[in-house]
Amino acid sequence: MYFDIALIAYIIDRVFGEFRYIRHPVVLMGDYIKWFERRFYRQSIARGTLLALSLTSITLIASFTLQSLFTFHSSLFTLLLQGAAASTTIASKMLHDSVKEIITHQKKIKYLVSRDTQNLSNSDISKAAIETYAENLSDGVIAPLFYLILFGLPGAFVYKAINTLDSMVGYRNERYEKYGKFSARLDDVANYIPARITAVLIIVLFAVRPSLFSTVFRQGKQHESPNAGYPISAMALTLGIRLGGDTSYFGKVKAKPCLGEGRKEITTDDIGQALSFQKYFDIFVLLFLGAVIWAS
């Protein structure tokens, strides 16, 4: 397993965030998805499957080759380079800073969520920010670390390719219902374990009562996504608020279950409390990965 690379990658991301002077791998993946769509798009599950398989295959080959080169010339320097490369798959700093910005600039919520934002109240904006933070803790932080630890650079980068596919074509609308179906299902599978790990960590690191576990896993099943409901429910229960509920997308209201137990009126103070998870998670990562590396 790749605990040392994961620790280095996480520290680099928390300190520096995204590297501004290089083309981010996710941007390259997005460019490929756009190119493929321009050339080969059809309302076809087969075409969408070909897109997903081609991108994940290219990503696997490229990342495996990169890791092999680093392993062949093994040194502290190449270990740091692997950590730097892996840090591009983690979005801990960017996620935290983006959601924190909503506390003082609520109109920027439109850049974080896919729901309609023009008629949101202040409470709705705070709710959307917390839901986004909880869900993306899994997608942008826990899942990349999970696959990085298990499979090294190939695991982290292939996961990122799957997640990027879902974010660009995994929609249930007229254009992508068939074309994005395979990508969406692939993302569901890839996030199954990380989403549940995220929910557990939220409850454990916030040191709330263990009895909430049963509620989280009961409520998580009610969400239309097989994964998103778990971290959102855990965050809602931890903060004593209600998240979810009917939400408007592209002019149409979609019925969603309420997750959590407590207040419906949500404030920017709740956003700040949700973001406090970061410091507990930082300590957990440093202690856990550090202890494993030291023991080995």
Cβ-based neighbours of 197, under 8 Å, separated by 6 or more = 138, 142, 146
How, if at all, do strands 242-244 and 247-249 pair? unpaired
C-alpha span between 137 and 91 (Å, rounded): 9
Res. 227: pLDDT tops 90 = yes
Q: Kindly report, residue by residue over 49-90, the tens digit of the pLDDT.
A: 999 999 999 999 999 999 999 887 778 899 999 999 999 999
Task: State the pLDDT at residue 253.
Answer: 66
Residue type, 169: V
Res. 138: pLDDT tops 80 = yes
C-alpha span between 170 and 179 (Å, rounded): 8
Task: State the pLDDT at residue 161.
Answer: 98
Task: State the pLDDT at residue 248.
Answer: 66
**Residue 283's domain spans which residues?**
3-295
Task: Give the tokens for residue 47.
Answer: 């075409």
DSSP reduced 3-state for 261? coil
How many structural domains are present in the chain? 1
The mean pLDDT of the chain is 91
